[in-house]
Structure 1
Amino acid sequence: MIPVILSFGVLLALIALGIPIGLAMISIGLAGLYFVGTLNSALAQMTLVYWSEGTSFLLLSLPFYILMGNLIHHTGIARSLYRSASLWLNWLPGGLAIASVFACAGFGAVSGSSAATARTMGGIVIPEMKRYGYGMRLGTGVMSASGTLGILIPPSIIMVFYGLMTETSIGDLFVAGIVPGICISIIFALIVLITAAIRPSEVGRRIDPASFTTRDMLISLFEVLPVLGIFAVILGGLYLGVFTPTEASAIGVVAVLLYGALSRKLSPAAVRNALTDSALTTAMLFLIIVGGYLFTRFLAQTGLMGTILGFMNSLDLNYWEFIIAVTILYLVLGCILDLFGMLILTVPILFPFAMSLGIDPVWFGIYIVIVAEVALVTPPIGINVYIINAVAKDVPLGTIFRGCIPFVAGMLLFIAALAVWPEIALFAIR
């Protein structure tokens, strides 16, 4: 047990020193396998993991979904989404903030990444909110929280990641994520309305209705049709069984390229930058996957996995106790690990126990994604908060974190509702 405790300590130390989590887990996993076996067996297992994951058909979808999101970033669709939402929701108190929620949901539907959604939409929305006099506690809070919709509204990179780890249908995960994504978007919008009623000073002025016409509103709707079309093609094809998630990812990239070519919004330089960013992100995720498998194999060979599962079984946790415990666990882990690090270290242990309680694997995936969303906006890591802080450099981190509190509470309430009524996520796949 001492080597295991030591390995966790060294892993956290390496992460704290800024070593990429994938490289840290590969190093610790390889050293651990050497410790419990031989150098030859450790190298053999590393080779097998690299080969099996590198030749996985499902894993091919990751670079395509990442590329699709990067290409979307260069097409200007994000700005069109926000303009359309802001014009149509201008009549509501806090209309620009509410527009940012639904614009993030729309962008998440074609980007699949929380960081990309927060980075892209934040750069557009924050300056507009400042221009119209919004308080930055609300403005940065709603943007940090809404950016998390990028990993829940399908297609989602983290859902692909979870599906690969647990051999759960990625298509079912995508379909099951639609209604929860819409529900959380509505909850965020209601929180903005409540904030507008309680603290009117946080809500700035509306866009002057004389500055746009009904024709402008209709044109703005037409400009977001590409997003709806790409989303409909991917989800419709998956739901009807026309193509697999891997094929859907390639089709999505082709659809974005066609849109970019026809609209002349994708230059050769933009495509080159998107390819470069996608290659770097894919390489990072591949290292995390390989490192996670090596580290998990080391833990399995020490007997820790069996010990933990035996301990959890001995606690005789019921459904509600398990959900509460996992939620607290993720809130704690979110303080020291990033999103993929949390999943790679916990899912191999938690998934078998969840299955022993009769929890649906698709529902568990949606639940894990939402809990991970909360970790993206809680201190001290809260990666989305730091992304928004990079856009709004004059806003202190503490202000942004305080602005996130109502939205974190909203997500936790939705997690409770999802636990009571699993059909919220599962009715579409049954």
Structure 2
Amino acid sequence: MDWLYTFIALIGSVIALGAIGVPVAFAFLLVNFGAAFLLMGGLAGVQQVVSNASSSISIFSLVPVPMFMLMGELFFRTGLAPRVFDALDKLLGRIPGRLSFLTVGGGTLFAALSGSSLANTAMMGSLLVPNMVARQYKPKMIMGPIMGAGALAVLIPPSGLTVLYGSLSNIDIGSLLIAGVGPGLLMAVLYCVVIILQMWFDPEAAPAYAEAREPLASRLWFAAQNVLPMGVVIFAVIGLILLGVATPTEASAFGALSVIGLAAVYRRLTINVVVKSLMGAMRSTSMLLLILLSSTTFAQVMAFSGASSQMVSFAMSFDLAPFTILIMMLLVLLILGMFMDQISMMMLTLPIYLPIANTLGFDMIWFGMMQLIVIELGMLTPPFGLLLFVMMGSAPAGTTFGSVVKSVVPYVVVQIIVVALIMFIPPIATGLPSLMR
């Protein structure tokens, strides 16, 4: 059982460093160098780790990460988002609870344009909360849809987290990106069902109000001017990959270029916007690449120590059904998500989970999509869900953390239901990648 002591020492050291405030990437680097020195022959082992580390981030498949980050930065800094919301709002007309439905529809669309759950949630909170409060919507109809729809950016491409997961796990990034479309859209539909049920049981949750009715032709024209052009961006990313015309790397470049083109058409492209967008994308990309470097090096140290292979053998020694092991792995992720950020969870679990999943013969696209959804759930679960804190920043005055958590519970349940559906109906996640191939 020597491998167990090594495993506990490596994982425990990372957790201990994180607990005293060391940033996760640097915590992994310190543990990597220490383990290499002790297990791989002193300074020679450290030099080997350093030489291997550079190759983990100097790969062409990671180019979509800065491109997707740039897309999101440009989209929000150019002010294209409010135009889309205004158009969707006019299009929905007098539908009861329309602002909640608008949140889900707009959040789903923005997920296909930005790729950042935090930015998605913050932007919708600042745009929609004041109007929904003025219309006397109850907190569950305001905050729940915003957080639920904001989290969709992890699934619906472009998603930087999905690219990072694919790079860490050596899964085809294009297939993994496309696989998120089905679960993401299914989740959005179920969110709308939640809103309908909430209004059914509590009609006062989203009071109706009088509003000047515009002619249908006028609303359609306004939507065509402000929503349809965004389809160019979606097609540039999702459509080109799905049709096999472009690789994820090429599609990410087309996506960034299409956002630049739209901003220029709407006369919102300025030098100041471009500089700020480039700086924001550079900061986010640098952080992700440092984390990726740390994580892949950690996996190499784990493999060299024998902890990875012995952990797989240990897990396989129990006479458990593959689905039981799968559920146990997802439950561990769900618990970790209550206390850790998404990238830290990936870095800790992937070196352990991937060998087990391969040994059990799981379809890696199917397995990866379930993992990504459960990792996304960590953004919505207390006590440290990031989107809960983002929502607190734009919530109505006097809102308590407990009410924020309570409002998101139905949307957490929806995500768990979607994971269960994917588990038993794999084509929800694997259908589009199979069609693409």
**Change over 3 Å in CA distance of 1:356–1:225 after alignment to 2:** same
Post-superposition offset of 1:178: 1.2
Which of 212, 231, 236 is equivalent to 1:210? 212
**Change over 3 Å in CA distance of 1:316–1:227 after alignment to 2:** farther
Residue 37 of structure 2 corresponds to 34
Mean alpha-carbon deviation: is it higher for 3-12 or for 165-174? Answer: 3-12
Tell whether 2:18 aligns with 1:11. no
**Change over 3 Å in CA distance of 1:378–1:421 after alignment to 2:** same
Question: 1:339-373 CA distances to partner (integer Å, 9 max, x unpaired)?
Answer: 11111221222122222333211111211111112
CA–CA distance in structure 2, aligned partners of residues 425 and 248 of structure 1: 21
Residue 403 of structure 1 corresponds to 407
Question: 1:180 corresponds to which letter in structure 2?
Answer: P
Tell whether 2:366 aligns with 1:363. yes
Residue 326 of structure 1 corresponds to 329
Post-superposition offset of 1:329: 0.9
Gap regions ≥5 residues in structure 1: none
CA–CA distance in structure 2, aligned partners of residues 45 and 334 of structure 1: 33
CA–CA distance in structure 2, aligned partners of residues 397 and 212 of structure 1: 39
- Give the 3-state SS of the residue equivalent to 2:137 in structure 1: coil
**Aligned partners of 1:22 and 1:285 also within 8 Å:** no
Residue 241 of structure 1 corresponds to 244
- Give the 3-state SS of the residue equivalent to 2:405 in structure 1: helix
Which of 168, 175, 178 is equivalent to 1:175? 178
**Aligned partners of 1:330 and 1:372 also within 8 Å:** yes
Post-superposition offset of 1:54: 3.2
Which of 258, 272, 276 is equivalent to 1:273? 276
**Change over 3 Å in CA distance of 1:88–1:255 after alignment to 2:** same
Question: 1:15-34 CA distances to partner (integer Å, 9 max, x unpaired)?
Answer: 23333211111111211211
CA RMSD of aligned residues (A): 1.8
Gap regions ≥5 residues in structure 2: none
Question: 2:315 corresponds to which letter in structure 1?
Answer: M
Post-superposition offset of 1:90: 4.2
**Change over 3 Å in CA distance of 1:226–1:24 after alignment to 2:** farther
- When normalised by structure 2's length, the TM-score is 0.93
Residue 417 of structure 1 corresponds to 421
**Aligned partners of 2:115 and 2:154 also within 8 Å:** yes
CA–CA distance in structure 2, aligned partners of residues 338 and 182 of structure 1: 24
Post-superposition offset of 1:403: 0.7
| 1:191-230 matches, cutoff 5 A | 191-206=194-209, 208-210=210-212, 212-214=214-216, 215-230=218-233
Question: 2:222 corresponds to which letter in structure 1?
Answer: I
Question: 1:103-144 CA distances to partner (integer Å, 9 max, x unpaired)?
Answer: 111001011121121122221122221121111233112211
Question: 2:308 corresponds to which letter in structure 1?
Answer: M
Question: 1:149-174 CA distances to partner (integer Å, 9 max, x unpaired)?
Answer: 01111121111112111222111112
CA–CA distance in structure 2, aligned partners of residues 221 and 136 of structure 1: 32
- When normalised by structure 1's length, the TM-score is 0.94
Tell whether 2:294 aligns with 1:291. yes
Percent of aligned pairs sharing the same letter: 29
CA–CA distance in structure 1, aligned partners of residues 377 and 95 of structure 2: 27
**Change over 3 Å in CA distance of 1:199–1:387 after alignment to 2:** same
CA–CA distance in structure 2, aligned partners of residues 377 and 27 of structure 1: 30
**Aligned partners of 1:109 and 1:155 also within 8 Å:** yes
CA–CA distance in structure 2, aligned partners of residues 412 and 89 of structure 1: 29
**Aligned partners of 1:110 and 1:155 also within 8 Å:** yes
Which of 121, 130, 149 is equivalent to 1:127? 130
